[in-house]
């Protein structure tokens, strides 16, 4: 069974749909790129996958041993979050909270997990640095490390390269692809279609009238002329 299976999933607020019903699945090892116009429901879908909001109709199920608290999440950042006055280690460590249970403090296991995630992201030299002083690319690595503290199975990334320069964007894409090649399933919302598609295994294009779910190679073949412009 797939990690996530959605059937006729209708997204929206106050009984008002934002897109056509969605049917798709995400299996272990997949790299799903979610694309669509502004307001099409991409972030709404992420919130639905995280069980933060309920769908208007349809079903969404977890399978293959994936539990709701085993999903890592890298959200879009706002100006206030970018200016958060905490150290890199403190922010990454906060990603272990779901693993703490009823403990009122972080234990050795949580602290070591945070250090391991920091090392995996190549930012060990920054662990004691204040997050607000970092570049955009460094901040995204910190948030990705935080997301990894919550999971070894699946991460949701909402516009992870927004605002990054081309060099930082390419480095982050390569880092995410490396995680995927090591066994972590990726679901990523992106406006950067040309940059994101080469790394994806599948595409979910959300539209108001007729959404599309297919392999990335099939999507490229079907939209070759448009993507070439």
For residue range 100-134, list pLDDT tens digits in order: 655 667 788 899 999 999 999 999 999 999 999 99
CB 142 within 8 A of CB 91: yes
Sorted by where each begins, the domain ranges of the chain are 1-66+153-229, 78-152
To the nearest whole percent, how much of the chain has pLDDT over 90? Answer: 64
Q: What is the reported pTM?
A: 0.91
Helix segments in 22-165, DSSP class H: 42-49, 79-82, 88-93, 97-100, 108-120, 136-148
What are 185's strand-pairing partners?
154
Q: Is the pLDDT of residue 27 over 90?
A: yes
The CATH number assigned to the domain with range 1-66+153-229 reads 3.40.50.300
As a whole number, mean pLDDT of residues 45-60 equals 92
């Amino acid at each position: 069974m797939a990690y996530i299976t959605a059937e006729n999933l209708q997204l929206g607020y106050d009984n008002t749909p934002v897109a056509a019903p969605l049917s798709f699945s995400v299996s272990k090892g997949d790299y799903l790129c979610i694309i669509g116009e502004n307001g099409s429901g991409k972030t709404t879908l992420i919130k639905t996958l995280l069980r933060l909001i309920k769908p208007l109709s349809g079903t969404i199920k977890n399978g293959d041993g994936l539990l709701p608290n085993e999903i890592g999440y890298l959200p879009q950042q706002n100006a206030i979050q970018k200016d958060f006055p905490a150290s890199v280690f403190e922010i990454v460590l906060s990603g272990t909270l779901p693993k703490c249970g009823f403990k009122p403090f972080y234990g050795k296991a949580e602290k070591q997990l945070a250090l391991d995630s920091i090392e995996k992201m190549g930012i060990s030299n920054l662990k004691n640095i204040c997050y607000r002083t970092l570049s955009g690319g460094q901040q995204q690595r910190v948030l990705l490390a935080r997301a990894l503290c919550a999971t070894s199975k699946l991460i949701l990334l909402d516009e992870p390269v927004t605002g990054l320069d081309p060099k930082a964007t390419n480095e982050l894409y390569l880092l995410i692809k490396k995680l995927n090649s090591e066994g972590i399933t990726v679901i990523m919302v992106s406006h950067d279609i040309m940059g994101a598609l080469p790394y994806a295994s599948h595409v979910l294009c959300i539209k108001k009238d007729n959404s599309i779910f297919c392999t990335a190679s099939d999507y490229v073949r079907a939209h070759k002329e448009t993507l070439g412009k």
